[in-house]
Structure formats: C-alpha cells, structure tokens
Amino acid sequence: MAEPRIVTVTGAAGNIGYALLFRIASGQLFGPDVPVKLHLLEIPQAVKAAEGTAMELDDCAFPTLAGVEIFDDVNRAFQGTNVAYLVGAMPRRAGMERADLLEANAGIFGPQGKAINDGAADDVRVLVVGNPANTNATIAQNAAPDVPASRFTAMMRLDHNRAVAQLAHKTGAANADIKDVVVWGNHSADQYPDVSFATVAGKPATELVDEEWLSSYYRPTVAKRGAAIIEARGASSAASAANAAIDHMYSWIHGTPAGEWVTAGVMSDGTHYGVPAGLNFGFPVTSDGGEWQVVDGLEISDATRAGIDHNIKALQEEYDAVKELGFIK
C-alpha cells in the first residue's frame, strides 16, 4: 500500500460534504490501492454533526480509509493536506447585498488560503466549491503566496457536466459521445456554455443543433440549472456537485484522455483569450496528471468572444469589490 494521502474537506457536515466524503473514502479519487486520511473541517456548532458522519464512515469499513479527524481549527485541518476541497461557505441570506456575501466569504477563504500556505503538503491541490466559487478561489490563492497559483482552482465541472448532458438529451447521443464542450467564465448565471468546438459521436455539434435552440434553450438552461435545482429540491445541488468535485480532482490527478478537454476554473496568467491575470476563470483545460493546461489557439467566434467578455466583466467586478474590502493585495 502507498503512503496515505490527506484530503481536507471543509463544510464536511453539509449536504455536499455528505455526498463527497464517502466517495473519497471508498477509493474513487485515488484508486483502490491508495489509502486516504480524511480531515473534516467544520464550524464549532456543526462539529457534532461531522462526528456523526465520521461514525458512518467508520461503519463502511472501507479498505482505503486510513483515518478520519475532525477539526474546528483551520490551521490544524490543513496540516499535510494533499487535496483540499473548500466546500463550506456563507450562504446568501435574505436582504444580504453581494458585497456582504463577498466580505463574509473572504473572511472564510482568506484564512483557509493562509493555512494551506503554511501547513499543506508541497503537492497540494485545491478545489473551491463554496460560492461564489471563482472569487473565493482568488481570495484563497491571494492568501497563499508560497503555493503556485495554479494549485488553486474553482469548480466549473458541474457546469461542464450539465452542458454535456443537455447536448446529449437534444441529440439523442450518449453522454460518453459528447466531447469538448466548454463553459467559459464564472460559476454563475453569467457563464457562457459553448458548443462551438464540441463533437457528438465525432460530428460537429454545430451541424446538429441550431443557434435558435442554443440561445433560447441550451445556454440559459445550463447557466440557470443551479437555480432550477434549488427551486425543485428546496436545496442546492449536492450529489451532482459532489460528483463534479470528484470528476475535477480525478481528471487533475490522473490526467484527461488524449485529445479531450474538460472545463475547470483556473487562475488566469493573462495569456489566454484576453482574460486578465489574477481572475479565476472557467477555461477548456487538459491535465497530464501534474498541472492543468489551458487549451490555447481555439478560433473564437464573435458570440463566444462576447460571452467571454461578459464573464471577464462580471469576475472583474467581484475582484474589484473584494480588493476594495482589502482581501486582495
């Protein structure tokens, strides 16, 4: 057996945590031969609930689970962490302005970024799930100057999976036959789901669907799916979010199949598609098992350009608001 990998999950007693932890513990992230130690971080009021989840993890007797520890101390939770899932966040409450939400979350993701900087393993990989995910990732990354910026990512994989599924439904294809959709930008209703480069069983998607369907149904359905799930379930997506969180980290660690990309929110270095450096942005990416690489050189249509620009503006506004509050230097 290999050395145990340490996976820290924040918001571990929440809905996504409950759907995510058992999949990591069962070996679905690293494989059946790699033991995993779970670090569960919660706020003090939710530690008891996290203890209940830990009891259930115990009761599964997973061969790959090498231990579970529960923390309400951010610094201890990230000691030696190889993989960090930052799930816990401050939800938007009635009457809360966007600036209030950004400020409350900056107070969570700044200290978590610093704790990762100070205590995590050299190979740490971070996925921010808690909303607003892209800007929370930017905040955490800014608090971690000693960790390569490329290790801080935000979850756009749920949007990507939604974009695959909706195209599969429309064309009657299997999900597995859909390749190279991308969701540019922000994990919010501003996002731009794009089938310009997608294929369906090897055929260009643009030969199978028309612009009228894309603009009136596809793009708004994918972009507003989170809100539709909340409306239907009375709660935010949890199992599909946990599934995407596994998919994202699995692709990063094990690599993407040759010639295929996925969508991830990665820190822009200013050299791709006109996205300013310092923003966390949904791009088409591949992984060779080490770092994410943005897929460059795609021929961008006027419509996609407008979609990318709209997202640059939205994310720049979030960035500026957080900077004004003093959370980004």
Q: What is the Cα–Cα distance from 39 to 79, expressed in whole angstroms? A: 9
162 is in an annotated binding site: yes
| 158 binding ligand LMR? (CB under 6 A) | yes
Please report, for residues 216, 251, 329, the alpha-carbon distance to residue 278 in angstroms, rounded to integers and kept in the order given.
32, 23, 11
Which amino acid is it at 237? S
**From 131, 188, 280, 286, residue interacting with ligand NAD (rule: CB under 6 A):** 131
Which amino acid is it at 80? G
- Measured N-to-C along each axis, helices 302-324 and 133-142 cross at an angle, to the nearest 10 degrees, of 50
Q: Which residue has the tokens 């009136």?
A: 216
**Buried b / exposed e along 156-173 (16+ C-beta atoms within 10 A):** bbbbbbbbbbbbbebbeb
Neighbours of 8 (CB within 10 A): 30
75 is in an annotated binding site: no
| 43 binding ligand NAD? (CB under 6 A) | yes
Asked if 102 and 135 touch (Cβ cutoff 8 Å), the reply is yes
**From 42, 180, 194, 318, residue interacting with ligand NAD (rule: CB under 6 A):** 42
Question: Using the 8-state DSSP alphabet, how is residue 176 labeled?
Answer: G
| 236 binding ligand LMR? (CB under 6 A) | yes
Per CB under 6 A, the segment of 41-49, 191-199, 270-278, 313-321 that binds ligand NAD is 41-49
Give catalytic status of residue 39 as yes or no.
no
Binding mask 245-264 for ligand NAD (x = CB under 6 A): --------------------
Per CB under 6 A, the segment of 19-27, 80-88, 229-237, 303-311 that binds ligand LMR is 229-237
326 is in an annotated binding site: no
Contacting positions for ligand LMR (CB under 6 A) = 131, 158, 226, 229, 236-237
Residues annotated catalytic, as ranges: 187
Which residue ranges are tagged as binding site for substrate?
92, 98, 131, 162
Binding residues: 11-17, 92, 98, 105, 112, 129-131, 162
